[in-house]
Structure 1
Amino acid sequence: MFLKVVNCEEDQKDKHFISNTFVDSIREISPENVVYVITDNAPACKAAGLLVESKFPQIFWTPCVVHTLNLTLRSICSPSPHPKYDDIMEKCGWIAKVSGDVFFIKNFIMNHSIRLAMFNSHSKLKLL
């Protein structure tokens, strides 16, 4: 459930700032009404999640699965050259090809209004 937006452009986003922001929001709606805090995988967010868990033992932190998958896919599709990853990249190279094909097909549909209309008329899914 989305609760609110906090503009923190001017603030230093360290684990204490993030944790305090979460704690304030949790207290606004009562800790009994919160089960999970989900963030991206940045070290400061992970540390903030653990601080929240220490203050509220019944509340759990977890990294965002979508963010984790995006980072994984980005690593597979644009790997840093390193000999220790050669074997892994050889085995997972097909993922980069499939990802490229999916991106091409999505753009092919999205960039042509007739194809997009056809897709929308035959699918309940929405392309993002």
Structure 2
Amino acid sequence: YSFVANHMLNGFLLPGYNALRTTLLQQEKAQVERLLKPIKSTWNANGVSIVFDGWIDVQRRPLINFMATSERDPIFLKALNASNEIKNKHYMSDKTIEVIKEVGEQNVVQIITNNTYTECNWITQVVDDVSFVRNFIKNHALLLF
């Protein structure tokens, strides 16, 4: 697409919205699945590790990434937007069980997670709130008198 856009090739028509979200998307998904098939075929014999980690994107949404790693290559499985969820042991175990079932229970040899103590995550929110209040007072000092 970028080559065509930069070189103004006559007669090239961009695919429409419906073609992109239906036919072309399905074709691309099938192509990706074909490329991943050789990697996934080794999981039964050699096993696979499920790896997940949480992080916050630039819009401050908590995301959880799930990957499958084996001796061949890692594969990104999915990312969850956990904005409206309480990320406790019940939520995380439910999501982990879903991923294990997607990969195949017989293929999973271990689960690797981050080892941070998540019960202290409220401290970050308090520090952010303190910084916000401090900056407001510094920038609007005259309003306080």
Give TM-score, length-normalised by structure 1.
0.31
Structure with greater strand percent: 2
- Radius of gyration: which is bigger? 2
Give TM-score, length-normalised by structure 2.
0.28
Structure with greater helix percent: 1
